[in-house]
Amino acid sequence: MTSLNETHDPALSSWVESANSADTDFPIQNLPFGVFRRAGTTEAFRGGVAIGDQILDLAAVRTARAIRSTAAANALRAASGASLNALMAMGPDAWSALRLALSRALRAGSPAQVKLGGALVAQREAEMARPASVGDFTDFYTSIHHATAVGRLFRPDNPLLPNYKWVPIAYHGRASSIGTSGQRFARPKGQILPAGANTPVYEACKRLDYELELGAFVGIGNALGTSVPMDKAERHLFGLVLLNDWSARDIQAWEYQPLGPFLAKSFATTISPWIVTMEALQPYRAAWTRPDGDPQPLPHLDSPDNRAQGAIDIALEVWIESERMRGEHSGPSLLSRSNFRDSYWTWAQMLAHHTSNGCNLATGDLFGSGTQSGPRPEEGGALLELSKGGKEPVTLANGETRSFVEDGDTITFRAACMAPGRARIGFGACAGTVMPAL
């Protein structure tokens, strides 16, 4: 894991004034990476860094020759293309060198301001693309609170299966349907077994749900047949995004027996467009512990560093905006809050276990954390939890109710790391809208 360095200094300010606002997601201490172009144009997509309400165009930075360090300049070249894969493949030393150079160039009083003033594009004028080419997508199940709450709906006497506390459970997802914030998709269709019926029907999903997750992008991979030990696992991770693992609960209930999710999950996954680097999150590291009485991890899932700072304090929120809310201009309604610090498994454990059988990961592979729920009922990360399986509809701020997501609903995730005396590190929005079935 990385150490604190000058880029984390909470006293730093930027010559980009909007980056100095206390409530910005993107202060100079963050500097997340994404891929963009000006909206409404046929410009090439290229790498950018979020700073306040602006995007620093990395191709323009390169043209301006504002970065002098050889290591940073090489990383800048890799980050300037239509995906971040080339940068991600360079490894943590290159990532850190570029982030340091950009931090120094964007600080208040930097002489680079003269060269870079014209390299800014307002975020409101940008179109964001998926930040990396995703070859494989693995979705984990790391919240014990979510696993217990969902298990209780179906197995009241035995909600948590015996392997959960021993192994980071996951399934292999679909990479082709991953989209960025703003994604709009049709309500999925599939086979569903109606209550009391013996024969399934093929129809539109009636129990569509979101799942509040974080995603982690693999930076450097490992060769087939090798494994990554815990003490090196996080050096393989480039950074985190928000992730909505949309789920068709009624399709899933019929098709997952005896294997895992299939059409119930593959129709859409939405991620936020800015990758917050693992280095930027370093000030919000926390000790990782297991509750008294729970089994301790097996050796391949344990390390002193993971115990000392494997957890990350990331506050998460889910918001809903219905068609009626948009018509009334009343704004979205808060559905829940939770925190990634409550996750039962860490990113290092996920990656180490994923490779422990010799599985080869590749640059751009994406992990989902699984639904992030807190210990209290109101901290559920999915409507399945909040509505008790649809039996207790949730009342929204404008009086509407929801058991599951309806057509026209926009679900938005937000997240930030916050603490007194530290810079706020935000993730931006991860929004997706459900359209009627085709």
Residue 430 has pLDDT above 80, yes or no: yes
The predicted model gives 196-215 an average pLDDT of 97
CA distance linking residue 262 with residue 255, whole number of Å: 7
In the DSSP assignment, the letter for residue 437 is P
Range 45-51 average pLDDT: 98
- Known binding positions for substrate: 141, 155, 252, 256, 371
Are 251 and 188 contacting, i.e. CB atoms less than 8 angstroms apart?
yes
Tell me what the mean pLDDT of segment 211-216 comes to.
98
Digit-coded pLDDT (tens) for 154-187 = 899 899 999 999 999 999 999 999 999 999 999 9
Residue 257, strand partner residues: none
Indicate if the pLDDT at residue 34 is higher than 90.
Answer: yes
Closest to 435 in 3D by CA, of 185, 178, 116: 185
For the residues of 2-68, what is the DSSP string, one character each? ----GGG-TT--BSSGGGG-TT-S--TTT--EEEEEETTS-PPPEEEEEETTEEEEHHHHHHHT---
Question: Looking at the chain, which residues constitute the CATH 2.30.30.230 domain(s)?
Answer: 6-128
pLDDT at 1 over 90: no
Would the pTM of this model clear 0.95, i.e. be above it?
Answer: yes
Summarised one tens digit per residue, pLDDT across range 140-151 is: 999 999 999 999
Is 260 a residue whose pLDDT tops 90?
no
Identify the band that residue 6 occupies on the pLDDT scale cut at 50, 70 and 90.
Answer: very high
What pLDDT score does 3 carry? 86
State how far the Cα of 361 lies from the Cα of 221, in Å rounded to an integer: 5
CATH 3.40.630.30 fits domain 6-128: no
Q: Which of 380, 431, 27 is nearest to 244 (CA)?
A: 431
Q: What is the DSSP pairing of strand 276-277 with strand 425-435?
A: unpaired
Instruction: State percent of the chain over pLDDT 90.
Output: 97
Q: What pLDDT score was predicted for residue 2? A: 75
Catalytic residue set = 146
pLDDT in tens, 70-93: 999 999 999 999 999 999 999 999
pLDDT digits (tens, 9 = 90+) for 356-389: 999 999 999 999 999 999 999 999 999 999 999 9
Q: What is the pLDDT of residues 97-134, one digit of tens each?
A: 999 999 999 999 999 999 999 999 999 999 999 999 99
Higher per-residue confidence, 256 vs 345:
345
Q: What is the mean pLDDT of the chain?
A: 97
Its CATH architecture, for the domain 137-435, is: Alpha-Beta Complex (3.90)
Residue (of 131, 140, 135, 310) closest to 233 by Cα position: 310
Rounded to whole angstroms, how far apart are CA atoms 84 and 46?
9
Residues 192-213 have a mean pLDDT of 97
Q: Residues, the chain, total?
A: 438
Rounded Cα gap, residues 73 and 75, in angstroms? 5
Quick one: which H or E segment has residue 186?
strand 183-186
Q: Is 370 helix (H, G, I), strand (E, B) or coil?
A: coil
In the chain, CATH 3.90.850.10 covers: 137-435
